[in-house]
Amino acid sequence: MKIQELADKMGLTAHTIRFYEKEGLLDGRHIQREKNNYRNYSDEAIERLKLIKKFQGIGCSLAELKTILQDHDTNTRTNQEVMEWIGQKIDEIERKKAEYDHMLVTLHWMLEYRKALIDDPDKAEAMMAQFRALSAE
Amino acid sequence: MKIQELADKMGLTAHTIRFYEKEGLLDGRHIQREKNNYRNYSDEAIERLKLIKKFQGIGCSLAELKTILQDHDTNTRTNQEVMEWIGQKIDEIERKKAEYDHMLVTLHWMLEYRKALIDDPDKAEAMMAQFRALSAE
DNA sequence: CTAAACTATGAAGTGAACTCTAAGGCAAGC
DNA sequence: GCTTGCCTTAGAGTTCACTTCATAGTTTAG
């Protein structure tokens, strides 16, 4: 399978696949060279790219993926270690979600304040007074 | 107030404050020059930086902030427009939160699968079979 | 046979928000 | 009067995951 064919199959560009290779995410099991120096991809390359996409989908950087794939290839990690790693990832994402929740609290406050400005100036003033009191703490 | 004093007060570095100035987030109302060409910051600069932090806190980029601050300075936007903008921001953040939720679903599945690998190999196999069936769709 | 379409390479560009460097001027403490 | 520690500037470096560019060799369709 040539690079464009693989790219189409996986919804990537040929550039990106070469980039992954340069980053060390693919190796001899996935790529051979033909006599014209064109890359020839095995079916394992498809599985590899699926794995890459899956881990990208759970928020892994390419640097992290490189380590994960190496460990995967060499069977370095115990089940226990993998479970700890997953736990850490979950915590990390929960933290980011909490940040967004905090943003949403602020935004909903802003929206309510703007509504009050139109409908109920007394309420708007009260909200602002309370906000200032909290900020001053 | 000199730059380092302001930086300490606001929990920023002097570099960052100069950077904000270069980006057009601060102007003559906030910065004057002394005869030795040092920057001298007014109290308004503190309010300005607080405003910048607040909007950064709800996920605004500096480019966005530049527009927001200009509108704020010139009173360009109607209440209605501001409310629409807040609504869009809320949607944007809800979308990002949903992405994280999707990551969490995957991660919790991975964790449960690993647990099953240890405690209940039949369950692990069933999970994997079901996963493959879903992937094939 | 030729032109389009594919392949290869290394290097540079993108954007966001800083962060740091180099090279120098001014000020305060000992 | 010397060191330390501010201050100034323009500009380069950082991180991430590509993307684009420039240039050139190979294959294929008409």
SS3 A39: strand
**Given an 8 Å threshold on Cβ–Cβ distance, is A118 in contact with B82?**
no
**Helix B3-10 vs helix B43-57: crossing angle, to nearest 10:** 40
Low pLDDT (below 70) residues in chain B: 136-137
- What integer pLDDT is reported at residue A90 of this predicted model? 95
Could you tell me the distance in Å between the CA of residue B75 and the C1' of nucleotide D15?
37
Supply the mean pLDDT for chain A. 93
User: Which has more confidence, A133 or A39?
Assistant: A39
Place of tokens 């493959």: B132
Closest residue of B to A60, CA-based? B103
Query: Is the pLDDT at A3 greater than 80, yes or no?
Result: yes
B105 touches chain A (CB under 8 A): no
Could you tell me the distance in Å between the CA of residue A17 and the C1' of nucleotide C11?
18
- CA distance, residue B134 to nearest chain A CA (Å): 14
Please give the nucleotide, over all strands, whose C1' is closest to the CA of residue B34. D7
- What integer pLDDT is reported at residue A131 of this predicted model? 85
For the segment A96-112, the average pLDDT, to the nearest whole number, is 93
For the segment A29-57, the average pLDDT, to the nearest whole number, is 95
- What integer pLDDT is reported at residue B137 of this predicted model? 61
- What integer pLDDT is reported at residue A137 of this predicted model? 62
Reported as a pLDDT band with limits 50, 70 and 90, residue A58 is very high
Report, at the CATH architecture level, how domain A3-74 is classified.
Answer: Orthogonal Bundle (1.10)
Point out which residues pair with A33 in neighbouring strands: A39
Could you tell me the distance in Å between the CA of residue B56 and the C1' of nucleotide D7?
28
Which residues contact residue A50 at a Cβ distance below 8 angstroms, ignoring those fewer than 6 apart?
A10
